[in-house]
Structure 1
């Protein structure tokens, strides 16, 4: 809601809204290059034409630091809503998809195009109130970028404008309170977890991920086929054969078995699926083709 937005941020939004053409929230992202914008309107980030990443920036969570620089704390916890409480499977998937695109821009050294958005309900109720709708959405003329990504603290910092500036620790603490971003507890869970528990968490994460898109994800690890999960469509056609590897703090390396190496050499649809932070709240995954396996961080046994 407008009353939750910093006055400096709200002034920019209002000026942009009043000066620009009147467009709906869907029309705005469509004009920015989002294909099938109407079908994707409820998403929180988009990959637009030209491989441009567009992200919603909720104005209620934008903080203004030294020199008037804007920044935004992005929670890497995909399991809990902005205002607290457990996310539904769909909400969690949307959060994961958003983080995947943000990480993509970071890894590629690219900037973000942003839409600044205010909402008709209190920001804490955004994901839980069925009446929640966009109040105002405008395209930000300035580029944003992901400045830091701290998997241990479960937070990333998004900054508006040129690179080279970071908020102070005092600014960060105030922004955490503003956005309800909790301070991560010490990463002790991974230290107490076994390799088997991390792997089981990775398997569960990927099974739920693909099931969320309507695919069948069958655990075939016990059959020693060279892959652990077989993903198929509703007609039973095999789409992917995933060799799953989970990592966590203190457990960041893995190896490929002989069966996995042999299956990889046969090519599609085999993929290496690496799930990072498998037992934590910010689990993410990346798929590697057999020709890309040597690029997978943490792999100790490369394809021969």
Structure 2
């Protein structure tokens, strides 16, 4: 909502809005080079022509430093909403897609284009209130960039304008509290978490994650552990789509092996796939599926 936006930011938004033609939120993104914008009206980031990344910046969470520079804290916890609670399957995928595009721009050393928007309801309700709608969306002519990407702190810092500047620790901490960004774990807490990350616990977390992922999209995931794979995934018509062996990795459990039965099944079963969940049991868990001839490229795979 406008009243949650820093007045200095709101003034700039109003100037942007008044100097251009009146466009809908989708038309703004389309004119920035996203040809399928109308098919993706609810996305939070897009890949435009020229391999340019465009991302939504919620004005309610834009912070203005003592020097006048704008910055924005991006939570790397894709599973949880800023307002509390777990994201549903669609929200989770949307958050992962956004983080992947921001990470892509960071790894390439490129900036990204932003659309700055305000909302008609409180910012913490944007993902949980079905009546949530965009109030104002404008194209920002100033380039943004990802100044830092810190998985251990579950945090990335996005900055508007030229590189070479970053907010102070005090400014980041104040922005964390304002934006409901998870705090960094203490060394003791992190060590305790690592101690809990036994291979059994990580595998259980990976299986739970995968079942929730497939069922969230309307598929059935039946437990088949002991038959050379862990899950048989089928659609609503009962057609078997995949037979998946699930493996998880985490900071305390960095690798995994395939059992003989799993290895044999990968050679004889056409639908067999390896699904690796990285950071299993954490809010940053992600997965990737590998065909039998791609197993050696799976992160954490130990062929010995």
TM-score by length of 1: 0.84
- In 2, distance between residues paired with 1:299 and 1:136? 47
TM-superposed deviation, 1:117: 0.9
Runs of 4+ in 1 over 6 A off after TM superposition: 265-268
Partner residue, 2:256: 254
Specify whether residues 268 and 64 from structure 1 end up closer, same or farther in structure 2 by C-alpha distance, changes over 3 A only: farther
Partner residue, 1:191: 195
TM-superposed deviation, 1:289: 4.5
Q: Is the aligned partner of 1:58 residue 2:58?
A: yes
- In 1, distance between residues paired with 2:101 and 2:258? 27
The answer to whether the 8 Å contact 2:2/2:60 transfers is: yes
TM-score by length of 2: 0.84
Partner residue, 2:148: 148
Specify whether residues 238 and 178 from structure 1 end up closer, same or farther in structure 2 by C-alpha distance, changes over 3 A only: same
- In 2, distance between residues paired with 1:18 and 1:27? 16
- In 2, distance between residues paired with 1:37 and 1:220? 40
Which digits, 9 at most, give the CA deviation of each residue in 1:186-236, with x for residues without a partner? 333342132112112112212222222233333333211xx4334444445
Partner residue, 2:180: 180
Partner residue, 2:224: 220
The answer to whether the 8 Å contact 1:82/1:126 transfers is: no
Q: CA RMSD in A?
A: 2.9
- In 2, distance between residues paired with 1:136 and 1:165? 28
Specify whether residues 272 and 103 from structure 1 end up closer, same or farther in structure 2 by C-alpha distance, changes over 3 A only: farther
The answer to whether the 8 Å contact 2:227/2:261 transfers is: no
Structure 1: gaps of 5 or more residues:
none
Specify whether residues 183 and 22 from structure 1 end up closer, same or farther in structure 2 by C-alpha distance, changes over 3 A only: same
Which digits, 9 at most, give the CA deviation of each residue in 1:73-120, with x for residues without a partner? 111223432223444444334333333333344344443332111111
TM-superposed deviation, 1:263: 5.5
TM-superposed deviation, 1:14: 1.7
- In 1, distance between residues paired with 2:35 and 2:234? 26
SS at match of 1:140: strand
Residue of 208, 213, 230 corresponding to 1:209: 213
- In 1, distance between residues paired with 2:105 and 2:214? 23
Which digits, 9 at most, give the CA deviation of each residue in 1:235-264, with x for residues without a partner? 455544443221222222223344555565
The answer to whether the 8 Å contact 2:89/2:217 transfers is: no
Whichever of the two has the greater Rg, that structure is 2
The total of aligned residue pairs comes to 300
Matches within 5 A, 1:117-136: 117-136=117-136
The answer to whether the 8 Å contact 1:93/1:212 transfers is: no
The answer to whether the 8 Å contact 2:88/2:216 transfers is: no
The answer to whether the 8 Å contact 2:198/2:252 transfers is: no
Which digits, 9 at most, give the CA deviation of each residue in 1:127-161, with x for residues without a partner? 23333210111122233333323222222222223
